[in-house]
Amino acid sequence: MKTKFSFLFLLFAFAAFTASAQTTQTEKAEEKPTYWVPNKALPAAEHYEGGIEAMYEFIGKELKYPALAMRNRVQGESIIGFTINEDGSTSGFKVLRNPGAGVGEEALRIARLLKFKSPGYALNVSIPIQFKL
């Protein structure tokens, strides 16, 4: 009788150990970036040093969720339109979509920080910036 219980105990202990080993491996494999990247091509990203990944990595680092938006749980996509001039400078910033609670102003602040390479011609672009709690 004792051998039967000890055998069952070892069997369940082994099963628990293998199950926990499998879950720790899958958690490490599913790491995602902390920033949001759209799945479509953006004309503005072609003129950013490092491309779309580098642009949204910069946006993710600089993004500060507004306190009012966090308190009211405001989420959504803010779209900022602007012009990349011939020399790479930017002008004419405008909030095209604003979820509210200070989210549009924060997206506008971040868009003004972006530095682009010189395209050689004026280019009107818009970039989406995702706010998600």
Q: Whats the size of the chain, residue-wise?
A: 133
- The DSSP secondary structure of the chain, one letter per residue, reads -HHHHHHHHHHHHHHHHHHHHHHHHHHHHT---SS---SS--HHHHTBTTHHHHHHHHHHHH----HHHHHTT--EEEEEEEEE-TTS-EEEEEEEE--STTHHHHHHHHHHH--B---SS-EEEEEEEEE--
pTM (predicted TM-score): 0.67
In this prediction, residue 115 carries a pLDDT of 92
pLDDT tens digit sequence for 81-124: 999 999 989 999 999 999 888 999 999 999 999 999 988 889 99
pLDDT tens digit sequence for 37-82: 666 667 788 888 888 888 889 998 999 999 999 999 999 999 999 9
In this prediction, residue 1 carries a pLDDT of 58
pLDDT tens digit sequence for 7-37: 555 555 656 656 555 555 555 555 555 555 6
